[in-house]
Amino acid sequence: MMLVKLGGSVITDKTRYLTFRVDVLTRLVKEIVSAGQNVVLIHGAGSFGHVLASEHRIQDGYTNDSQVPAAAKVMEDVRDLNLRVMRVLNEGGLPSASLPPSAVATLKSGKLDVLDVNLFRRYLEVGISPVTFGDVALDSERRFGICSGDQLMERLARELRPERVIFVSDIDGVFTADPASDPDARLMETVDRATLDSLPRTQRCADVTGSIFGKIETMLRIASWGGDAVVLNGHAPGRLEAALRGEAVKGTRVRGDAT
């Protein structure tokens, strides 16, 4: 079984509210089907979730009544995205079932607390790919919060122990600096704990799920629960399929902490 995260920056245009890249996802689904592997999919919220969630600081939990309609609207928007994703998956020949975090997960102080992993196992057993996504979820201490795709990836990797973990991004992998602003940024073929500790603390990711360093930290933990872990560019045709087949691809291999 493979655990695949389709980043919100790949399947949406994160600079434009509610912009879905159906052509990109259609191609990625063809690659998944062609690879012939059982997969659990997680997709980011991208421009369907981060804009309003950040504006109203939903990730911090309840602080005032104005957040309540905003949280409900974020849930509506991410379900809109998920419905579009599910339609592409099923029409593309990958039978899939949606498992929204608001229905199968709860948080505690912003951290994923409870997740019904057994549902994921049962869908896999009948040949249906379970699909989940970044979402608003109830929080036992903060009323509500953001259940991020990375939190879901980590829990599912720990519980399901996938053969391979694949992060599908909008760039070639993990770089020494932001490649969009630094011409000297270079792709790192391998990332481990020592690599993370050596990076300059200047990169920041403008979304509600944290900085790039937090994301790498999470990747290291996820990789420690699964088999091979790789970060690759979903806009490069064929790379996802090759990675699913176990072939070497341009990207970054993540070496997790020892468990």
Distance CA 51, CA 18 (A): 9
Structural domain contains residue 31: yes
Q: Can you tell me the mean pLDDT for 199-207? A: 50
pLDDT at 207 over 50: no
| 59 inside domain | yes
Inside any domain, residue 200: no
| Residue 101 falls in which region: left (phi positive, over 0), alpha (psi -120 to 50) or beta | alpha
2-6 and 39-43 strand pairing: parallel
Radius of gyration of the chain (CA): 17
Percent of the chain residues past pLDDT 70, beyond the cut: 93
What would the pLDDT profile of 51-67 be if each residue is shown by its tens digit?
788 889 999 999 999 99
Give the pLDDT confidence of 230-240 residue by residue, as tens digits. Answer: 999 999 999 99
pLDDT at 210 over 60: no
Question: For 104-127, what is the mean pLDDT?
Answer: 97
Per-residue pLDDT, averaged over 207-228, amounts to: 71
Which domain, by its residues, includes 102?
A: 2-172+223-254
User: Which CATH number do you get for residue 52?
Assistant: 3.40.1160.10
Q: Supply the pLDDT for residue 206.
A: 39
The count of domains in the chain is 1
Confidence of residue 101 (pLDDT cuts 50, 70, 90): very high
What pLDDT does 182 receive? Answer: 82
User: What six digits make up the tokens of 149?
Assistant: 């795709």
- Are 12 and 49 in contact by the 8 Å Cβ rule? The answer is no
The whole-number pLDDT of residue 169 equals: 92
Residue 67 and residue 143 in contact, taking contact as beta carbons nearer than 8 Å: no
With respect to residue 182, please indicate whether it lies within any of the assigned structural domains.
Answer: no
pLDDT of 123-180, one tens digit each? Answer: 999 999 999 999 999 999 999 999 999 999 999 999 999 999 999 999 998 887 778 7
Predicted confidence at residue 68, as pLDDT, reads 97
Task: Indicate whether 151 belongs to any domain.
Answer: yes
pLDDT grade for 80, boundaries at 50, 70 and 90: very high
Question: Percentage of residues in the chain with pLDDT exceeding 90?
Answer: 69
Q: What is the mean pLDDT of residues 24-31?
A: 98
Asked if residue 205 is part of any domain, the answer here is: no
Render the burial of 39-58: b for 16+ CB within 10 Å, e for the rest: bbbbbbbbbbbbbbbbebeb
The reply to whether 196 falls in a domain is no
β-bridge partners, 12: 20
At 90 the pLDDT is 98
Is 180 domain-assigned? Answer: no
